[in-house]
Structures are given as C-alpha cells and as structure tokens.
Amino acid sequence: SNQSNLPKAVIDKTVMMARQASTVVGTLRTSVPSMSTPFTNSNAADLNLSSDFSKALGVNEEQFEEMFEEENGTVPPKTVPQGKKPPSDTILKDILENTKTNKSADPVVKPEPVEKIVSQERVKKSAKKAIRPPLSAFKAAPKLSDTAKERKVPSSRFSRVANFGGLFVGLGVGALSEVTKRGLGLKKKSDDNNPSLIGENPFLTEENAERIVDRLCRARGAALKLGQMISIQDNSFIDPKIQKIFDRVRQSADFMPSWQMKKVLVSELGEDWQDKFEQFDDKPFAAASIGQVHKGKLKDGREVAMKIQYPGVATSIESDINNLMTVLKIWDLFPKGVYIDDLMRVTKKELNWEVDYEREAKCSTKFKELLQDHSMLEVPAVVPELSSRQVLTTEFIEGIPLDRCTELDQETRDQICTEILSLCLTELFDWKFMQTDPNWANFFYNPDTGKLILLDFGASRSFSAKFVDDYIRIIKSASEGDREGIKHWSVESGFLTGYETKTMENAHVDAVMILGEAMAFDDNFDFGAQSATMRIFNLIPVMAKHRLTPPPHETYSLHRKMSGSFLICTKLNGKVNCKRLFDDIFARYQFGKECEFWQD
C-alpha cells in the first residue's frame, strides 16, 4: 500500500506504540528485532504480519514466565502439545515461520445453543396454559464455553508486561491495515442505520477486538473485567459485531492448568486441602476475569462450588488497568466528556474489593440472611472451612443462566424480571446495600424449584443515606413528570452544578424523564417494546459536550446494576408493573437512615 494514503496521526500513533512495545520487550529479551525505525513502504506492505508478530510474541511471553520461575525455583512441568512445534529460540524465527505457514481464517465465535427439548408449539402457548420446561430440558451440567482454553495465567511482572507489549504492536499495525483497506476502497463503511459509539474509528475493528479479547483472556484480571463490562451493554452503544466477540469474554475466560490451580489451593488451604473432598473436578466448569470455579463433593455429602483466584491478579490491578487505559486513550476510544480518570479511580477501588474473597464471603452471608424468608430468591451458603482470601467455597445449586431463559413462557419470564427489579429497588432504597454486578452469569434460574439463585457478591457495596435520599427524590420527580424537581435534586446530589447551559440542563432532565417512564406507567411496562435506550443514546453527545462535572462516584456502580437489570428485562421481553414496585418502596422509605450493617 502507499503510505501517503494513511492519515499522519494514525502513522504517528502506531510508530509511537511500536517503539513503546520495543522498549518493553527489549528489556526482557535481547533478541527482539528492532522496532525503532519508522514504517516504510517496504516494511508496511505485508500488513498481515501484525497478527503473526502478535502470535509469535504471545508464545514467547511464556518463555518470559519460565525464565522468571527458573530464577525462583518454581518451574512447572514443561510439555509441548501433540502435533505442535515447540517455540523457537527467537521472536524473529517465530515470525518468519508463522508468515510461511499460518494462513488461518479469522476465528468465528458461536454462542452455545440451548437444547430445544420442549416443542415450539408449547413455548408459544399463552402464559396460563404454558408448561414450564424442567431443568433436564436444558444442559443442566455446567461447563466451560467451547472457546475457553487451558492457558497458564501470567503471574510475574515480566509476562504481564510482555502481554500488553504484544497488544500494543498488534493493534497499531492492525489499525494501519484497516486504514489502508478503506483508503483503497477494499472495505465498506459501517451501516449508517446502525450507529455505535466507536463510529469509523480504524482502531476498533473486528480483527483488533479479537486481538484484545485474546490478550485479556490470556492475562485475565482487572483488564479482562473491563472487557466483560463491554459485553453486557446494549448494542445501541456498542457495535454488534464487536459485542459478539466480547461476548466470549463474558461467557468464559481461559482457565489455568491443574498444576497452577493446585499450587494456589496448597498456598491458601494447606497441603491437606483435598482430604476434605470425596470428589473434586480438576477441570473448572466456569472461568471469569478474577477466578475459575470447580465442582466438588465433600465427605459429608454436600456438593460445593469452589472459586479459585488466579495468581497475580490481586497485585496487578493498578498496572493492568493502566496498561489497558494507555491503549484506549492513545486511540481516543472514549467519547468526549467522559471523565475517564475519575472512572478509573472508582473502578480500581471496586476491583480491590472484588479480589478480597473474605470480604465477598461476608457479603454473601449477609445477603443470605436478608433473603432467608424470600419465596423465590436464594443465595448459596458459604463453606468457611474451605474459604480464604483467594479461595471461596459455597454450596452448589443447579440452575440455568438467565440468557438461556428466553424460551421459557411469558408468565415465568415476567416473574423473573419482576423479582430482579424488585430486588434492585430493595437493595438500594431499603437496605442501601447492593450487589452491583449485573452479569448474566450471576443469576441462575431453576425451573424445577422456581427459584432464582443469586451468585457472586464481590461487587457488593453500601450507599450513604444522603446520596440515596437525593436519588429517590430524582426518581420520584421523574415518575410524576416534575422537571423542576429533577433539576433541583440533581444539583443537590452532584449530577449538575447549577451553572450548566440550558442545552445541557434540558438533555439531562430529558434523560432522567426517559428513565422514569417505567416508574410512571401504571400498568405492565413492556421492556421488549421500549425505545428508551436509543433515545438516551441520542442525548449522549450533547451531555458529553456540555457536562461541567463528573457524576457522583456512587453512580458508576449503581447505574451499572440498574442498566444491567433493565437490559435483562429487555432481553427476556419481560412485562413488569414498575410503578407499583416503586410506589411501594417510596411509601416505606426512611429518609436519613444509614445502612445499619455495612459501611464502605
């Protein structure tokens, strides 16, 4: 391609990132080929080399890890998969070998289908006549996603830095490839009828998104957690093609090998940890950003789920987020007006809560106590003798995640949605204590018992009475169509300063009014037919341009939970009388009352 076709800003940023990556890798391995010279027509011609370089560097990250562990005398068993050549001595040889032989197509991520045991005719019957399919109609046995791989978690500073160094290089050259294709007319622009926040950004292509996912799934930890947050957003905010790729991150991260997992268990629970088990599955049935989950059976007959934290994750939150943010900031992925530094401070604080499994055990026990008399909601009991700061064991309860409940009858889906929204309001306004992670996998439904099982309480937090008092007044004003009330309490709570332009003021009030529509509609609100998401999306550019202050820090986690709960109801096409739920909450709300059992 002709370099003159490429925007200078893209070339400059890519060269800068390449130099940074070269410096990082060069300090770790002296045989890295030089990246200090500018791109020319000759060395930019084969733009497909970026993926080969990234893969080659990925192989050598494991060499960095092994070098580090050799120094510390903790070398793991070294094996080479059957039919696969061992890594070559230098990155350059890997690149040349891959360039000759590796011409594989772009990976395709396919969501795992639900087994349709129940006939379509039965599903289409009315709610009164519909027969709820039993748990056996679904794949009851939990399992990892088909895309999950067994890969060692890079726990040393060397390997984690190299992981992001490879990402810098791959993304930079990938962006050059994208701009070249567009400049030569080899690629069409995205559909104007399906806008997204990323627009025509040459950096966030489908190929680069796959690179990001691969690196995040390899490293896991805080950066992967941010990627999972992207996957639960509505596709009006995130390009649907990118969202599908990130959906792999939500469903399952890669899992660590058995020897590394057992090393964590010995460190946390002692050499005799396995003596308490009658059976223990070495392969996990779930893997997420911070840990993976194994099923076991204790000698007293109880079936349990044991969550084991990845090594190095707790100590790398700061560096992992900073590395990922460097990528996102350089390529201007965040919309103007987003107070990203403020957001990252809050995110780091919350992630430090999440990696503390002792704190999560206390939160889980408290939620079980609060919901002990509930007819539908259930929280698994913690097993204290098999729990620590990096290991959390609870009783195992069967069920299916909510994204596999779309085939259930309307009555059951409405009931699930009603309980999720009722819980959300109760957590905030009754308890002022909320589990703020709305990931689909944190809610399981058992059709046999009619129970909705709540999981993963690491993101639980409390809210101050002052914040919740102001917030419920904002929602109440929206439900009554009181625009002046919304403006007044938005200033009191810190959403507005009182000095905004009329344009910003109107956009903010309009957005709150749209959110309040569900609370104002005195009947079953049809989430499947609502257009609130797109209407708020259209207001974002105005608010981003004219906003004078970041929102209250409590809203980052609160709005994540509320928007996630609304999105669940939308995906399930739920119909809920939200006004009745909110009116009941408001009637019993106690102003000025702090959370009595938890303070963050």
Residue where the block lists tokens 């004003």: 477
> Which residue of the set 437, 456, 482, 510 is catalytic?
437
Q: Which residues pair with 291 in a beta bridge?
A: 309
- Terminal Cα-to-Cα distance of the chain (whole angstroms): 56
Which H or E run contains 204? none
Give the C-alpha separation, 447 to 204, whole Å: 40
Buried b (16+ CB within 10 A) or exposed e, 170-208: bbbbbbbbbbbbbeeeeeeeeeeeeebbbeebbbbbebb
**Other CB atoms within 10 Å distance of the CB of residue 386:** 20
What CA dihedral angle connects 47, 49, 50 and 56, to 10 degrees? 180
Q: How far apart are CA 143 and CA 146, in angstroms?
A: 9
- DSSP state, 131? -
* Strand pairing class (377-378; 451-454): parallel
Cα–Cα separations (whole angstroms), residue 514 to 278, 532, 549: 54, 6, 21
- Dist. CA 429–CA 463, nearest whole Å: 9
> What Å distances lie between residue 42 and 187, 197, 412, CA to CA?
22, 34, 62
Q: How far apart, in whole angstroms, are the C-alpha atoms of residue 600 and residue 598?
A: 7
CB 545 within 8 Å of CB 491: no
Cβ count near 102 (within 10 Å): 12
Active site residue 437: yes
Q: Could you give the CA distance from residue 264 to residue 357 in angstroms, rounded to a whole number?
A: 14
Q: Under a CB-based contact definition with an 8 Å cutoff, are residues 213 and 245 in contact?
A: yes
Q: What does 165-202 look like in DSSP terms, one character per residue?
A: HHHHHHHHHHHHHHHHHHHTT-SPPPPTTS--TTTT-S
Rounded alpha-carbon distances, angstroms, from residue 134 to 116, 541, 549: 12, 46, 51
Catalytic residue list: 437
